[in-house]
């Protein structure tokens, strides 16, 4: 029997990170949920100065609609063969909303009559206008849960419009969190703006910047800034328990945290030798490559154009650092 440890406020420093032996999204632990993190395009309509070179492209790279739909069908068929009945798809980019085939893919996902439970997540810069989001809200209304990680980029986005879109989605039943990469040189400027978003009732997660190889957190943070990122902002609860992630130590004590995006701030990202469900209970798709996760150094599971095979059981982690927050969605 697990003993649940309730943390006071956002003081996640109380978690004995060095003693944790098991963790996972609550929706995945002991469940029949299969997850997919899908980069549907590397094209982005923004060109932020601090963006990783491999994370975006200025050239549209949309694939044929049939390829997207067939890939989704193959994923679900293989997952069901392994006993998974529920699905969570997380879409990102680039900018997923800039992909002209994104909405048809979402509609196809939502029309699945066999699934017992389906949820959707999107990481987006919220650049489309209100009418686009109205259509998205309408097309996804049959899903059991909808969430958005909103990325604010001051070099291109308007603060008022961005906040208005967050509220539009929240009013439509979408769980919204602003996930802010706290660039060291812009730390105070970013924090001041985030305080204004928080005043509008929008959830915020502070995330340290990773190096271009996504292998470690960049240097340049003061001790005070690290503490600020670890403590974060007070989080709003949308009618359900806020904590998304459960962690266990060797004695069976359970700890809770709102999002796995906080892991890097505590240096909790080295799981080499641990048994991992990546590739078995979830996969990622990047361009046409199908992999265990964004951080894994394993061989490909295959490609969307040539075929792929999902693992039949969990495998050991062989990767030194697991840095990508997309792996935790």
- Taking the C-alpha atoms of residue 176 and residue 199, their distance in angstroms, rounded to an integer, is 14
What is the mean predicted confidence (pLDDT) over 79-95?
Answer: 95
Q: Is the pLDDT of residue 329 over 50?
A: no
Q: How many CB atoms lie within 10 A of CB 78?
A: 18
User: DSSP H helical segments within 200-326, as ranges?
Assistant: 223-231
pLDDT digits (tens, 9 = 90+) for 108-125: 999 999 998 999 999 999
Report domain 3-328's class: alpha beta
Question: And the tokens for 91?
Answer: 């879409």
Model confidence band, residue 7 (pLDDT cutoffs 50, 70, 90): very low
Q: How many CB atoms lie within 10 A of CB 11?
A: 10
pTM for this predicted structure: 0.82
Model confidence band, residue 1 (pLDDT cutoffs 50, 70, 90): very low
Tell me the average pLDDT of the chain. Answer: 87
- The pLDDT value recorded for residue 162 is 97
Q: Worst-scoring range by mean pLDDT, 100-114, 150-164, 267-281?
A: 267-281
pLDDT digits (tens, 9 = 90+) for 196-251: 999 999 999 888 887 766 667 888 899 999 889 888 887 665 445 556 788 899 99
């Amino acid at each position: 029997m697990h003993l649940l440890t309730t943390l006071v406020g956002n003081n996640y420093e109380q978690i004995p990170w060095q003693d944790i032996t098991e963790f996972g999204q609550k929706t995945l632990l002991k469940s029949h949920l299969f997850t997919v993190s899908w980069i549907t395009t590397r094209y982005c309509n923004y060109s932020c100065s601090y963006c990783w070179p491999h994370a975006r492209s200025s050239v549209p790279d949309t694939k044929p609609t049939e390829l997207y739909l067939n890939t989704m069908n193959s994923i679900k068929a293989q997952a069901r063969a392994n006993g998974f009945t529920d699905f969570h798809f997380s879409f990102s980019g680039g900018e997923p909303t800039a992909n002209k085939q994104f909405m048809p893919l979402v509609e196809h996902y939502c029309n699945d009559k066999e699934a017992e439970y389906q949820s959707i997540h999107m990481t987006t810069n919220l650049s489309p206008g209100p009418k686009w989001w109205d259509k998205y809200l309408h097309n996804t209304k049959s899903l059991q849960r909808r969430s958005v990680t909103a990325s604010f980029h001051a070099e291109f986005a308007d603060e008022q419009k961005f906040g208005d879109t967050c509220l539009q989605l929240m009013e439509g039943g979408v769980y919204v969190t602003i996930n802010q990469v706290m660039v060291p040189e812009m730390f105070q400027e970013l924090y001041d703006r985030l305080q204004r978003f928080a005043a509008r009732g929008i959830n915020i997660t502070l995330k340290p910047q990773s190096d271009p190889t996504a292998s470690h957190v960049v240097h340049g943070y003061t001790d005070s800034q690290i503490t600020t990122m670890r403590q974060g902002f007070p989080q709003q609860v949308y009618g359900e328990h806020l904590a998304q992630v459960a962690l266990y130590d060797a004695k069976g004590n359970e700890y809770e945290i709102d999002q796995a995006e906080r892991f890097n701030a505590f240096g909790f990202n080295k799981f080499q030798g641990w048994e991992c469900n990546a590739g078995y209970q979830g996969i990622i798709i990047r361009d046409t490559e199908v992999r265990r996760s964004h951080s894994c150094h394993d061989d490909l599971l295959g490609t969307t154009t040539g075929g792929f095979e999902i693992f039949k059981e969990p495998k050991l982690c062989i990767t030194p650092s697991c840095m990508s927050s997309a792996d935790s969605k």
